[in-house]
Amino acid sequence: MRQCRFLSGGQQLSMKKFLVTGLLVWVPLGITFWVLNLIITTMDQTLLLLPKHWQPVNFLPFPVPGLGIILTFAVVFITGLLIRNVFGQRLWAASEMAMQHIPFVGSIYKGVKQVSDTLLSGSGNSFRQVLLVRYPHPDAWSLAFQTNVPHEVASKMDEEYVAVFIPTTPSPVNGFYFFVRKADTIVLDMTVDVALRSIVSMGVVSDVKPELTP
């Protein structure tokens, strides 16, 4: 007659710890490789833009992942190199003006360009500083980024207001745009990068180092 053996409470706890430890190792690795594979696969689709007789599949014995990234980097770099000279700037300015006059397309392009210029340009001042504002109710505080108040809006307000963008967690590209009284905000001595990392990580990642107790 076979005897059934049951794990003790301590053994079950140890197994649970081992499983959790294994998950903490493999989950970040798996997600990282999945994201990298998605990026490489997507970027490799740019190779299809090449003429058919120039595509790598015609002269390589086997497919090489990542060639699309090299092609994209080369195209972006060469584009930036050409636009930096006087002739390139004039040509691009004329192209932009023509595109902005195309119905429907021009309005989309103009809005997207303003956002990209703000986020990618070092001279952008969209996020002036990091603030604390009362949201979503008067007893709660949320991280927010101060942006620009349109002149038409500022002229209609009796008190001094600031425009704030409150990003959502964990996707900071979405959020809410509000006008709040400047007196009801708290200015933080925190960089935009640190605030974004805190929002994306849901507060888990922090640049504040704990003090060592003697």
Is residue 136 in some structural domain? yes
By residue range, what is the domain housing residue 162? 130-200
pLDDT for the residue numbered 101: 84
| Lateral strand order in the sheet of 186-187 | 175-181, 161-167, 141-146, 130-134, 186-187
Mean pLDDT of 18-30: 85
- Residue, of 201 and 126, whose pLDDT is higher: 201
Q: Is the pLDDT of residue 211 over 50?
A: no
Under the banding of pLDDT at 50, 70 and 90, the label for residue 96 is confident
Q: What is the DSSP string of 136-179?
A: SSTT-EEEEEE----HHHHTT-SS-EEEEEEE-SS-TTSEEEEE
Q: Is the pLDDT of residue 213 over 60?
A: no
Is residue 181 in some structural domain? yes
Is residue 75 in some structural domain? no
pLDDT for the residue numbered 214: 40
Under the banding of pLDDT at 50, 70 and 90, the label for residue 1 is very low
Token output for 160: 């001094």
pLDDT for the residue numbered 164: 92
The pLDDT tens digits for 129-160 are 899 999 989 899 999 999 888 888 888 888 89
Q: Which of 57-61, 72-76, 95-99, 142-146 has the lowest mean pLDDT?
A: 57-61
pLDDT for the residue numbered 124: 47
* Distance, CA of 140 to CA of 184 (rounded, Å): 12
Q: Is the pLDDT of residue 33 over 70?
A: yes
CB 147 within 8 A of CB 127: yes
Under the banding of pLDDT at 50, 70 and 90, the label for residue 5 is low
Is residue 4 in some structural domain? no
Strand, helix or coil for residue 15: helix
Write down the pTM of the prediction. Answer: 0.50
Is residue 180 in some structural domain? yes
pLDDT for the residue numbered 40: 86
Q: What is the DSSP string of 62-127?
A: S--TTHHHHHHHHHHHHHHHHHTSHHHHHHHHHHHHHHHTSTTHHHHHHHHHHHHHHHH-TT--S-
Under the banding of pLDDT at 50, 70 and 90, the label for residue 208 is low
Is residue 30 in some structural domain? no
Q: How many domains does the chain have?
A: 1
Strand, helix or coil for residue 186: strand
Token output for 33: 């490789």
**Residue 8 backbone dihedrals phi, psi, to 5 degrees:** -75, 170
Is residue 169 in some structural domain? yes
pLDDT for the residue numbered 188: 93
Is residue 82 in some structural domain? no
Q: Is the pLDDT of residue 187 over 80?
A: yes
Q: Is the pLDDT of residue 198 over 50?
A: yes
Q: Is the pLDDT of residue 31 over 70?
A: yes
